[in-house]
Amino acid sequence: MTKMNIPFFDYPALFKKDRESYLKIFEDVGSRGAYILQKDLREFEANLAQFLKVKYAFGVANGTDALVIALKAAGIQAGDEVILPSHTYVATAASVHFTGGVPILVECGDDHMVSAKAMREAITQKTRFLMPVQLNGRTCDMDEIQKVAKDHNLMIVEDAAQGLGSKFKDRCAGTFGAAGTFSFYPAKVLGCFGDGGAIVTNDDQIAESVALLRDHGRNDDGEMVTWGLNSRLDNLQAAILNFKLKKYPEDIKRRRTMAQIYHEELNKLATVKLPPPPSQGDHFDVYQNYEIEADRRDQLRSFLSDRGVGTIIQWGGKAVHQFKGLGFDQHLPVTEAMTSRFVMLPMHVALTDDQIKYICDGIKAFYKA
């Protein structure tokens, strides 16, 4: 078989795929001198809100700022405990830390999503928020998490950085709680050409706070009415995202097709554990990542690399509680067992069916040998 070169993610392809359209966007925005809080951002926010079926959407500088601002707008106070999964990017916990809260890390479940049972068991008198993470393009079982929140009078702020367009019972990630947040980092399913993020909400008061907090505490009259941050999604990135959002359903459809090919090719291997297939029950997954668990993971990665296939171990193979420099001293056996085995296979719309089958042939050849 002819050796292929398949990088884990093809960043140049992001631009080359629609090069002429992007050049027109650069020319249009640049010729208008429209860089901060202009009509392109307003249009993107309106279209994003419509896509997610929410009342408000606000573009901000990045996904981490989105979490910080959402928590502040939701009223977090110093010492408030926020329960979240340890299987997430450090930004989730960092947002709690930098708003004065205390991140409480808990186990994930069999599908790598946060365990609602673990969330319930971690509740104390100081708990005020639940922060489910809609990871890898999948939405958590929000029925169970909402039940926990209702039973204990807690607020939900969602980290849906990897979940835009994914659904649970036909409801979009990011729309279940007081506020939801997204990232538009270039490798995201909807990514810009730099950093970017968004906050969505149906709550009028939270929306008013977010609008102030992202722009120095400045109201529509230009008056500084509170302390705020400088965290505005720049207009050029908003214009690019608005263009890409129009074709977003096509990208989701393609990712689900790729996930189905992976599933059909690999589901009979006892040595790997796959994410749920696209057709599973109440979940509609968009496959931001295709994260598997694999026996002899490191040897498998080396074997695939020799065949030209790039893979990634998410976040260096550690959950947040395993970064001892952050001050955690926990043992989460389910999460730790999973992180010792997990690896992400290439998953982006520049991949062809033949490339996916080549990757799968390599995995099957490794275990057959």
> Has residue 342 got a pLDDT over 70?
yes
Q: What is the pLDDT of residue 204?
A: 98
Measure the CA–CA gap between 234 and 34, rounded to whole angstroms: 9
92, two tokens = 């989730």
Q: What is the pLDDT of residue 113?
A: 96
CATH of the domain at 329: 3.90.1150.10
Alpha helix (H) ranges present in the chain? Answer: 11-16, 19-32, 39-52, 63-73, 90-97, 116-121, 142-151, 204-213, 235-246, 248-266, 297-306, 333-339, 353-368
- With respect to residue 1, please indicate whether it lies within any of the assigned structural domains: no
**pLDDT, tens digit, 9 for 90 and up, residues 294-332:** 999 999 999 999 999 999 999 999 999 999 999 999 999
Q: Which of 205, 227, 246 is the last residue of a domain?
A: 246
Q: How confident is the model at residue 1 (pLDDT cuts 50, 70, 90)?
A: low
Q: What is the pLDDT of residue 237?
A: 97
Q: Are residues 76 and 200 in the same domain?
A: yes
Q: Which domain holds residue 86?
A: 13-246
Phi, psi of 245 (to 5 degrees): -65, -30
Q: Into how many domains does the chain fold?
A: 2
Q: Are residues 189 and 331 in the same domain?
A: no
**pLDDT, tens digit, 9 for 90 and up, residues 230-244:** 999 999 999 999 999
Secondary structure (DSSP) of 26-60: HHHHHHHT--SS-HHHHHHHHHHHHHHT-SEEEEE
Q: Are residues 138 and 275 in the same domain?
A: no
The predicted model scores a pTM of 0.95
